[in-house]
Amino acid sequence: MLIAALVIAPVPDGTVGAVDREHIIGIYAGIAPASPSVATSNLHIFSTGTVEPNHVSDSGNNVLVKNQIEAQGGAYFGGATNRAQFADDGELTLHGTARVMRSIDLEPVLATRPSANPPAEGTEASFSTHDFSPSADESVFFHLELGHDYADAGTIHVHFDFFVDVAEVGATSISWGVEYKKQSIGDNFGFTLGAETIDYAVPTAVTPGTPANDKKTHQSAEVDLTTTGFVAGDYILLRLFRDATGTGGTDSFPRDARVIDYHIEYLSDK
């Protein structure tokens, strides 16, 4: 019986030439021949060097893959302490300071409408809307407890999903704002309209053209809250409003903006 053995010589210290580095220990490097030589110290796979199966540019400590990486078993991204770990059944576990964004949808029916300057309550195809006038800064109020998964001082975004009945011809936009206050257990409860922190979204351009764009849904830019001192278990008191007076940006759309959903995203610790 004849047994054949294949012996692959080790890559010597120094550099790997343009041809040699095309196939290195069974992994296709794909580095263009015109590229500079690559030091063999940078070919320690999954170590501190560089292996680039689909070469874009020489980038230290990166592995560039054109399509997908498949791990038959568990895998993690990050370090020994702070990492996102996937089990062989796909379950994701976040360790250390690994984070993920979570979202909360607030429907119009959940809001409190104030006695002064509330939006009109409407419906569209039997779904509730808040119809914000172009003539005044109309508002709704929510209070929200930061869940125990909230990452202290982590990012919080707010945006508005809305449509207009008639898409006026011409470049017009709608401006939105959020007034808010952090409330901790033990604080004296209170909210002074106009005196709390106010942030604005970049005005949203309404897509013109009627009837083609009538009732086309739009999403405002994110309003980024200042979250210094925010911790899990705190409450956020929120006033969400149309900035019809244009304090935070141009609001030039002459019709109601009809909100179908208020959306909050926050950085979760787990």
> Residue 207 is encoded by which pair of tokens?
């897509």
**Where residue 164 falls among pLDDT bands split at 50, 70, 90?**
very high
Residues 157 and 240 in one domain: yes
- Helix intervals (H) in 8-158: none
Confidence band, pLDDT 50/70/90 cuts, at residue 206? very high
Per the domain annotation, does 78 fall within a domain?
no
> Are residues 127 and 243 both part of a single domain?
yes
pTM: 0.71
Is there a domain that residue 75 lies in?
no
pLDDT at 201 over 60: yes
87 occurs within a structural domain: no
User: 65 with 135, same domain?
Assistant: no
> Strand, coil or helix: what is 21?
helix
d(CA 258, CA 217) in angstroms, rounded, equals 9
Answer yes or no: do 174 and 254 share one domain.
Answer: yes
Q: Considering only CA atoms, which of 221, 246, 240 is closest in space to residue 138?
A: 240
237 lies in the same domain as 185: yes
Same domain for 183 and 255, yes or no, is yes
| DSSP β-bridge partners for residue 238 | 142, 180
Q: Are residues 61 and 110 in the same domain?
A: no
Residue 36 scores a pLDDT above 80: no
Looking at the structure, tell me whether residues 248 and 117 fall in a common domain: yes
What pLDDT is attached to residue 195?
96
- Domain-embedded: residue 92: no
Cis peptide before 33 (omega within 30 of 0): no
Q: In terms of domains, do 138 and 198 share one?
A: yes
Looking at the fold, whether 125 and 53 belong to one and the same domain comes out as no
Instruction: Please give the residue range of the domain that contains residue 36.
Output: 1-69
- pLDDT over 70 (residue 19): no
What does the pLDDT look like over 53-66, one tens digit per residue?
444 555 555 656 65
Number of domains in the chain: 2
Tell me, yes or no, whether 119 and 61 share the same domain.
no
pLDDT at 203 exceeding the cut of 70: yes
Q: Does residue 223 belong to any structural domain of this protein?
A: yes
How far is 262 from 269, CA to CA, in rounded Å?
23
Fill in the DSSP letter of residue 55: -
Question: Can you give the pLDDT at residue 44?
Answer: 40
Q: Give the domain CATH number at 247.
A: 2.60.120.260
Q: How many CB atoms lie within 10 A of CB 116?
A: 9
